Amino acid sequence: MPAEPPSGPLLEVRNLRTGFRTRRGLLQAVDGVAFAIARAETVAIVGESGSGKSVTAMSILRLFGRTDRAAIEGAILLHGRDGGIRDLVTLPEPELRDVRGREIAVIFQDPSASLNPVFPIGEQIAEAIRRHRPQEAAHAARAAVELLRDVGIADPERRVAAYPHQLSGGMRQRVMIAIALACQPRLLIADEPTTALDVTIQAQIMRLLADLKAARGMGLLFITHDLALVGEIADRVVVMYAGQVVETGATDAVLAAPRHPYTRALLECRPERHYRDGAEDERLLRPIAGQPPRPTEVAAGCRFAPRCPLAEAACRAGPVDLHLLHGDRQSRCRRWDAMA
């Protein structure tokens, strides 16, 4: 296997627009999204439900069924080890099937819906290896045991014969990670992989992902609505709202000094402990007023303007572009400087 170049982009998403054909016309779920992931880098996409995070992730590998009637525009450029570049938007389906799992793998948020209940987990891991690495088919069963060991499942020689219903939620998620890693992908997409887990197991899965990424040198695209998780794992963050990117930048900088009112509002949604005379007094939660717009009801101007305390008439008058602030820091806000 050729060695990865030491630096450079792994994946570039350029002006991605994903819509779904309906009786009322095209429902635009993702509108002009752009970001890049470097080798061995973790990029997090964060936003409320309905912001377009998961649709963006699924668009990368075109993981839509025929009944979804999806329409994808723009460019998704995968940089190969040999220096070649393939656009996943226009790549023929047979070639894209070879990319799925082998070069880019996905961990979904609900392992119960992703694992086949009628096959042992070891067989499901081995199947991925046989599909993409037929030359290793004879060793697939042994590789499945080692993968279970890598993701922290105790007694993998015995567990490899277990069925999904015999495992806890945390163990099922570890199995999904093992399947995703089976063919040594260069990019791992984790779509809210800890949503259904309790806090203790969630922390274990986050540490596991970070350790595996570091050990294997993978890129990681982490999808979440939880900014606390973003601070733990991500190098850069992409904040989405109503199908658009509203802020991007280095994670530490964005979390410490947001330059878009929506990012700040997400940060203020986190509960805060307040103390009086050394004892906990109360926990404050500042919800964001209003509701995200439906894709068919987005505002003509800034899409966050109806919920934004800083909005002016100019914000509602017309579309707002992403402003390059400094370095790779961007904000889709006319009043970003007022937040300093």
Concatenated DSSP letters of 269-292: TS-EEEEETTEEEEEE--PPSS-P
Give the E-state strand segments of the chain in sequence order: 9-22, 25-38, 42-46, 70-79, 85-87, 104-107, 187-191, 219-224, 236-241, 244-250, 272-276, 279-284, 323-326, 329-331
pLDDT digits (tens, 9 = 90+) for 257-315: 999 999 999 998 876 655 555 555 555 677 888 888 887 788 789 999 999 999 999 99
Residue found under tokens 């163990």? 171
pLDDT at site 298: 81
pLDDT at site 1: 42
Residues of the chain with pLDDT under 50: 1-3, 5-6
